[in-house]
Protein backbone atom coordinates (compact mmCIF):
# COMPACT_ATOMS: atom_id res chain seq x y z
CA UNK A 1 0.00 0.00 0.00
CA UNK A 2 1.38 3.37 -1.03
CA UNK A 3 0.80 6.70 0.63
CA UNK A 4 -1.25 9.13 -1.47
CA UNK A 5 0.48 11.99 -3.23
CA UNK A 6 -0.21 15.65 -2.41
CA UNK A 7 -1.08 18.05 -5.22
CA UNK A 8 -1.13 21.79 -4.53
CA UNK A 9 -2.09 23.65 -7.69
CA UNK A 10 0.41 22.60 -10.34
CA UNK A 11 2.90 21.07 -7.89
CA UNK A 12 2.76 17.46 -6.74
CA UNK A 13 4.75 15.87 -3.91
CA UNK A 14 5.16 12.10 -3.80
CA UNK A 15 4.16 12.03 -0.11
CA UNK A 16 1.39 14.02 1.65
CA UNK A 17 3.84 15.45 4.18
CA UNK A 18 4.60 19.16 4.48
CA UNK A 19 7.48 20.07 6.78
CA UNK A 20 6.55 23.10 8.86
CA UNK A 21 8.33 26.41 8.31
CA UNK A 22 9.69 27.02 11.82
CA UNK A 23 11.22 30.42 12.50
CA UNK A 24 13.57 31.89 13.32
CA UNK A 25 16.26 30.02 11.34
CA UNK A 26 15.10 26.51 12.26
CA UNK A 27 13.65 25.54 8.87
CA UNK A 28 16.39 26.53 6.46
CA UNK A 29 17.61 25.17 3.12
CA UNK A 30 19.23 21.96 4.48
CA UNK A 31 16.01 20.79 6.15
CA UNK A 32 13.67 21.84 3.35
CA UNK A 33 15.93 20.24 0.74
CA UNK A 34 16.13 16.95 2.62
CA UNK A 35 12.33 16.78 2.98
CA UNK A 36 11.75 17.62 -0.68
CA UNK A 37 14.32 15.03 -1.76
CA UNK A 38 12.53 12.44 0.37
CA UNK A 39 9.24 13.13 -1.38
CA UNK A 40 7.58 15.70 0.87
CA UNK A 41 7.12 19.46 0.69
CA UNK A 42 10.05 21.32 2.24
CA UNK A 43 9.44 24.77 3.70
CA UNK A 44 12.00 27.45 4.47
CA UNK A 45 11.05 29.87 7.26
CA UNK A 46 11.29 33.43 5.96
CA UNK A 47 10.24 35.28 9.10
CA UNK A 48 13.20 36.89 10.85
CA UNK A 49 15.44 36.80 7.77
CA UNK A 50 16.41 39.64 5.48
CA UNK A 51 15.20 39.41 1.89
CA UNK A 52 18.76 38.70 0.81
CA UNK A 53 19.15 35.88 3.33
CA UNK A 54 15.86 34.31 2.30
CA UNK A 55 16.74 34.56 -1.39
CA UNK A 56 20.03 32.77 -0.71
CA UNK A 57 18.27 29.96 1.19
CA UNK A 58 15.68 29.42 -1.55
CA UNK A 59 18.39 29.51 -4.20
CA UNK A 60 20.44 26.90 -2.32
CA UNK A 61 17.43 24.61 -1.99
CA UNK A 62 16.45 25.05 -5.63
CA UNK A 63 19.96 24.16 -6.75
CA UNK A 64 19.96 21.03 -4.58
CA UNK A 65 16.57 19.51 -5.45
CA UNK A 66 13.83 19.47 -8.04
CA UNK A 67 11.34 18.55 -5.31
CA UNK A 68 8.65 20.87 -3.97
CA UNK A 69 10.13 23.82 -2.07
CA UNK A 70 8.04 26.50 -0.37
CA UNK A 71 8.52 29.40 2.01
CA UNK A 72 6.55 30.15 5.19
CA UNK A 73 6.27 33.86 6.05
CA UNK A 74 4.25 35.47 8.84
CA UNK A 75 1.89 38.17 7.58
CA UNK A 76 2.63 40.01 10.85
CA UNK A 77 6.24 40.58 9.76
CA UNK A 78 6.97 44.17 8.71
CA UNK A 79 8.90 43.08 5.60
CA UNK A 80 6.25 40.58 4.50
CA UNK A 81 5.99 41.91 0.92
CA UNK A 82 9.75 42.10 0.49
CA UNK A 83 10.21 38.54 1.72
CA UNK A 84 7.41 37.13 -0.47
CA UNK A 85 8.91 38.70 -3.57
CA UNK A 86 12.40 37.47 -2.65
CA UNK A 87 11.06 33.90 -2.36
CA UNK A 88 9.15 34.17 -5.63
CA UNK A 89 12.15 35.59 -7.50
CA UNK A 90 14.31 32.58 -6.56
CA UNK A 91 11.81 29.96 -7.69
CA UNK A 92 9.83 28.96 -4.60
CA UNK A 93 6.96 26.66 -5.59
CA UNK A 94 4.57 27.95 -2.96
CA UNK A 95 4.11 30.59 -0.27
CA UNK A 96 2.60 29.55 3.06
CA UNK A 97 1.42 32.49 5.17
CA UNK A 98 -0.06 32.71 8.65
CA UNK A 99 -0.26 34.98 11.72
CA UNK A 100 -2.55 37.35 9.85
CA UNK A 101 -4.32 37.58 6.51
CA UNK A 102 -3.12 39.38 3.38
CA UNK A 103 -5.21 39.88 0.27
CA UNK A 104 -2.20 41.15 -1.68
CA UNK A 105 -0.25 37.90 -1.43
CA UNK A 106 -2.81 36.10 -3.60
CA UNK A 107 -2.22 38.59 -6.41
CA UNK A 108 1.56 38.42 -6.08
CA UNK A 109 1.50 34.63 -6.24
CA UNK A 110 -1.02 34.43 -9.08
CA UNK A 111 0.99 36.89 -11.21
CA UNK A 112 4.16 34.84 -10.64
CA UNK A 113 2.59 31.40 -11.13
CA UNK A 114 3.34 30.45 -7.53
CA UNK A 115 0.90 28.57 -5.30
CA UNK A 116 -0.52 30.48 -2.33
CA UNK A 117 -1.33 28.46 0.79
CA UNK A 118 -2.73 30.41 3.78
CA UNK A 119 -2.87 29.00 7.29
CA UNK A 120 -6.47 29.12 8.54
CA UNK A 121 -8.34 28.38 11.74
CA UNK A 122 -11.97 28.67 10.67
CA UNK A 123 -14.35 27.91 7.82
CA UNK A 124 -14.84 31.62 7.17
CA UNK A 125 -11.16 32.30 6.55
CA UNK A 126 -10.83 29.10 4.49
CA UNK A 127 -13.69 30.17 2.22
CA UNK A 128 -12.24 33.67 1.92
CA UNK A 129 -8.86 32.19 0.99
CA UNK A 130 -10.41 30.04 -1.75
CA UNK A 131 -12.30 33.03 -3.13
CA UNK A 132 -9.07 35.04 -3.38
CA UNK A 133 -7.29 32.20 -5.18
CA UNK A 134 -5.61 29.94 -2.63
CA UNK A 135 -4.31 26.67 -4.08
CA UNK A 136 -4.74 24.93 -0.71
CA UNK A 137 -5.14 25.83 2.95
CA UNK A 138 -3.35 24.63 6.06
CA UNK A 139 -5.76 24.02 8.95
CA UNK A 140 -3.68 24.68 12.04
CA UNK A 141 -5.31 23.44 15.22
CA UNK A 142 -4.73 24.38 18.83
CA UNK A 143 -2.17 21.56 19.16
CA UNK A 144 0.33 23.37 16.94
CA UNK A 145 3.54 25.01 18.09
CA UNK A 146 4.42 28.66 17.85
CA UNK A 147 1.66 31.20 17.32
CA UNK A 148 -1.88 29.89 17.67
CA UNK A 149 -4.93 31.28 15.89
CA UNK A 150 -7.66 29.00 17.26
CA UNK A 151 -8.79 27.20 20.40
CA UNK A 152 -10.11 24.23 18.39
CA UNK A 153 -8.28 20.99 17.78
CA UNK A 154 -7.15 20.12 14.28
CA UNK A 155 -9.16 16.89 13.99
CA UNK A 156 -12.32 18.78 14.99
CA UNK A 157 -11.71 21.60 12.52
CA UNK A 158 -10.65 19.43 9.58
CA UNK A 159 -13.99 17.89 8.52
CA UNK A 160 -15.78 21.25 8.62
CA UNK A 161 -13.16 23.01 6.54
CA UNK A 162 -12.92 20.11 4.08
CA UNK A 163 -16.67 20.48 3.63
CA UNK A 164 -16.44 24.27 3.26
CA UNK A 165 -13.90 24.47 0.42
CA UNK A 166 -13.05 22.75 -2.87
CA UNK A 167 -9.27 22.98 -2.57
CA UNK A 168 -6.84 20.66 -0.76
CA UNK A 169 -6.88 20.96 3.02
CA UNK A 170 -3.68 20.21 4.95
CA UNK A 171 -3.95 19.37 8.65
CA UNK A 172 -1.42 20.78 11.11
CA UNK A 173 -1.02 20.33 14.85
CA UNK A 174 -0.15 17.28 16.91
CA UNK A 175 1.12 15.17 14.00
CA UNK A 176 4.18 13.16 15.04
CA UNK A 177 3.78 9.62 13.66
CA UNK A 178 2.47 7.86 10.59
CA UNK A 179 -0.59 6.84 12.60
CA UNK A 180 -1.28 10.54 13.22
CA UNK A 181 -1.02 11.12 9.46
CA UNK A 182 -3.60 8.39 8.86
CA UNK A 183 -6.01 9.97 11.34
CA UNK A 184 -5.79 13.32 9.54
CA UNK A 185 -6.21 11.77 6.09
CA UNK A 186 -9.19 9.77 7.35
CA UNK A 187 -10.81 13.07 8.38
CA UNK A 188 -10.53 14.32 4.80
CA UNK A 189 -7.14 16.04 4.78
CA UNK A 190 -5.16 15.91 1.55
CA UNK A 191 -1.95 16.01 3.58
CA UNK A 192 -0.42 17.02 6.89
CA UNK A 193 2.02 19.68 8.02
CA UNK A 194 4.52 18.55 10.67
CA UNK A 195 6.66 21.00 12.59
CA UNK A 196 7.81 19.62 15.94
CA UNK A 197 8.88 16.23 14.55
CA UNK A 198 11.17 17.92 12.00
CA UNK A 199 12.79 20.25 14.55
CA UNK A 200 14.52 17.23 16.08
CA UNK A 201 16.23 16.00 12.92
CA UNK A 202 19.86 16.09 11.90
CA UNK A 203 19.19 18.58 9.08
CA UNK A 204 17.24 21.04 11.24
CA UNK A 205 19.17 24.26 11.85
CA UNK A 206 18.23 24.32 15.55
CA UNK A 207 21.22 24.00 17.86
CA UNK A 208 21.88 20.67 19.58
CA UNK A 209 20.56 21.92 22.93
CA UNK A 210 17.32 23.04 21.27
CA UNK A 211 16.79 19.60 19.73
CA UNK A 212 17.65 17.85 22.98
CA UNK A 213 14.99 19.86 24.81
CA UNK A 214 12.43 18.22 22.55
CA UNK A 215 13.82 14.74 23.20
CA UNK A 216 13.88 15.33 26.98
CA UNK A 217 10.52 17.13 27.24
CA UNK A 218 7.44 15.89 29.06
CA UNK A 219 3.85 17.07 28.71
CA UNK A 220 4.39 19.28 31.78
CA UNK A 221 7.17 21.13 29.96
CA UNK A 222 4.82 22.49 27.26
CA UNK A 223 3.34 25.89 28.09
CA UNK A 224 1.37 28.73 26.51
CA UNK A 225 2.91 32.19 26.64
CA UNK A 226 1.93 35.66 25.45
CA UNK A 227 3.60 36.86 22.26
CA UNK A 228 4.10 40.49 21.20
CA UNK A 229 2.51 39.44 17.88
CA UNK A 230 -0.82 39.54 19.72
CA UNK A 231 -1.40 35.78 19.68
CA UNK A 232 -0.67 33.11 22.26
CA UNK A 233 2.36 30.96 21.57
CA UNK A 234 3.25 27.41 22.63
CA UNK A 235 6.79 26.77 23.84
CA UNK A 236 8.91 24.51 26.03
CA UNK A 237 9.30 25.65 29.62
CA UNK A 238 12.60 27.30 30.54
CA UNK A 239 13.67 30.31 32.67
CA UNK A 240 12.40 32.70 29.99
CA UNK A 241 8.90 31.20 29.82
CA UNK A 242 8.76 31.26 33.64
CA UNK A 243 9.40 35.01 33.47
CA UNK A 244 6.83 35.51 30.71
CA UNK A 245 4.18 33.55 32.63
CA UNK A 246 4.85 35.81 35.65
CA UNK A 247 4.50 38.93 33.43
CA UNK A 248 8.16 39.68 34.14
CA UNK A 249 9.15 40.66 30.63
CA UNK A 250 12.84 41.02 29.73
CA UNK A 251 13.67 44.57 28.59
CA UNK A 252 13.99 45.27 24.87
CA UNK A 253 17.63 46.23 24.43
CA UNK A 254 17.39 46.91 20.71
CA UNK A 255 14.16 47.00 18.71
CA UNK A 256 14.62 45.59 15.22
CA UNK A 257 11.12 46.68 14.15
CA UNK A 258 10.40 43.16 12.95
CA UNK A 259 6.61 43.26 13.35
CA UNK A 260 3.99 45.46 11.72
CA UNK A 261 2.40 45.85 15.15
CA UNK A 262 4.14 44.84 18.36
CA UNK A 263 2.89 44.63 21.93
CA UNK A 264 6.39 45.70 23.07
CA UNK A 265 6.41 43.29 26.01
CA UNK A 266 9.65 41.76 24.74
CA UNK A 267 11.39 41.18 21.38
CA UNK A 268 10.13 37.90 19.93
CA UNK A 269 12.71 37.66 17.14
CA UNK A 270 15.56 38.30 19.55
CA UNK A 271 14.38 35.50 21.86
CA UNK A 272 13.83 33.05 19.00
CA UNK A 273 17.30 33.75 17.60
CA UNK A 274 18.87 33.29 21.04
CA UNK A 275 17.37 29.81 21.33
CA UNK A 276 18.30 28.80 17.79
CA UNK A 277 21.91 29.81 18.34
CA UNK A 278 22.33 27.98 21.65
CA UNK A 279 20.92 29.93 24.59
CA UNK A 280 17.91 27.78 25.43
CA UNK A 281 17.51 29.38 28.86
CA UNK A 282 17.10 33.01 27.81
CA UNK A 283 15.73 32.15 24.36
CA UNK A 284 12.26 31.03 23.28
CA UNK A 285 11.90 27.38 22.23
CA UNK A 286 8.63 27.06 20.33
CA UNK A 287 7.10 23.57 20.22
CA UNK A 288 3.84 21.82 19.51
CA UNK A 289 1.65 20.13 22.11
CA UNK A 290 2.97 16.72 21.04
CA UNK A 291 6.66 17.59 21.38
CA UNK A 292 6.96 15.18 24.32
CA UNK A 293 6.32 12.34 21.86
CA UNK A 294 9.60 13.13 20.06
CA UNK A 295 12.26 10.75 21.39
CA UNK A 296 15.18 10.86 18.95
CA UNK A 297 17.03 12.96 16.38
CA UNK A 298 17.08 10.99 13.10
CA UNK A 299 18.06 12.14 9.64
CA UNK A 300 15.16 13.31 7.50
CA UNK A 301 15.58 10.28 5.23
CA UNK A 302 15.24 7.88 8.17
CA UNK A 303 12.29 9.82 9.58
CA UNK A 304 10.38 9.91 6.30
CA UNK A 305 10.81 6.15 5.80
CA UNK A 306 9.62 5.61 9.36
CA UNK A 307 6.53 7.77 8.82
CA UNK A 308 5.62 5.83 5.69
CA UNK A 309 6.07 2.50 7.49
CA UNK A 310 3.97 3.70 10.45
CA UNK A 311 1.24 4.90 8.11
CA UNK A 312 1.24 1.55 6.30
CA UNK A 313 1.03 -0.36 9.59
CA UNK A 314 -1.84 1.81 10.79
CA UNK A 315 -3.62 1.46 7.44
CA UNK A 316 -3.31 -2.32 7.56
CA UNK A 317 -4.65 -2.44 11.10
CA UNK A 318 -1.35 -3.02 12.83
CA UNK A 319 0.47 -1.02 15.46
CA UNK A 320 2.25 2.25 14.63
As averages over each run of 10 residues, the pLDDT of the chain (320 residues) reads: 94 97 92 98 94 96 96 89 96 92 93 96 94 96 78 90 97 95 96 96 96 96 87 90 92 73 78 89 91 96 97 79
Kindly state whether residues 97 and 154 are assigned to the same domain: yes
Residues in the chain: 320
Kindly state whether residues 148 and 65 are assigned to the same domain: yes
**pLDDT for position 124:** 94
CB 284 within 8 A of CB 277: no
**pLDDT for position 102:** 86
Kindly state whether residues 171 and 215 are assigned to the same domain: no
Kindly state whether residues 15 and 41 are assigned to the same domain: yes
**pLDDT for position 320:** 46
Kindly state whether residues 229 and 82 are assigned to the same domain: no
Task: Tell me which residue range forms the domain holding 255.
Answer: 208-291
Kindly state whether residues 31 and 103 are assigned to the same domain: yes
3-state DSSP assignment of residue 71: strand
Kindly state whether residues 167 and 246 are assigned to the same domain: no
User: Per the domain annotation, does 1 fall within a domain?
Assistant: no
**CA atoms of 50 and 41, how far apart (whole Å):** 23
**pLDDT for position 291:** 93
Kindly state whether residues 59 and 178 are assigned to the same domain: yes
Q: Which of 55, 144, 132 is nearest to 101 (CA)?
A: 132
**pLDDT for position 231:** 78
The total number of structural domains in the chain stands at 2
User: Per the domain annotation, does 265 fall within a domain?
Assistant: yes
Kindly state whether residues 77 and 94 are assigned to the same domain: yes
Kindly state whether residues 121 and 245 are assigned to the same domain: no
**pLDDT for position 257:** 63
User: Per the domain annotation, does 17 fall within a domain?
Assistant: yes
User: 7-43 as b/e, with b when 16 or more CB fall inside 10 Å?
Assistant: bbbebebbbbbbbbbbbbbbbbbbbbbbbbbbbbbbb
User: Per the domain annotation, does 144 fall within a domain?
Assistant: yes
Q: Are strands 232-236 and 146-147 parallel, antiparallel or unpaired?
A: antiparallel
**CA atoms of 190 and 99, how far apart (whole Å):** 22
Kindly state whether residues 287 and 219 are assigned to the same domain: yes
CATH number at residue 92: 3.20.20.70
Q: Which of 34, 45, 44, 37 is nearest to 13 (CA)?
A: 37
**pLDDT for position 240:** 93
Amino acid sequence: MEMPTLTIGTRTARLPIVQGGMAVRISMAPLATAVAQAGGVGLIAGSGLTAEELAAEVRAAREATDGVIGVNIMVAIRKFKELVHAAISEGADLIVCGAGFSRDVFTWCRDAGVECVPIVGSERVAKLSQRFGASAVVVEGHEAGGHLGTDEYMLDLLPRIVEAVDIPVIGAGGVITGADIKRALDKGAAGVQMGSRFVATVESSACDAFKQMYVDSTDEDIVLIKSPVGLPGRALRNPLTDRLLANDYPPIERCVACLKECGKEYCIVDKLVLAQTGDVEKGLVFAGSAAARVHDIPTVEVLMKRLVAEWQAASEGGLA
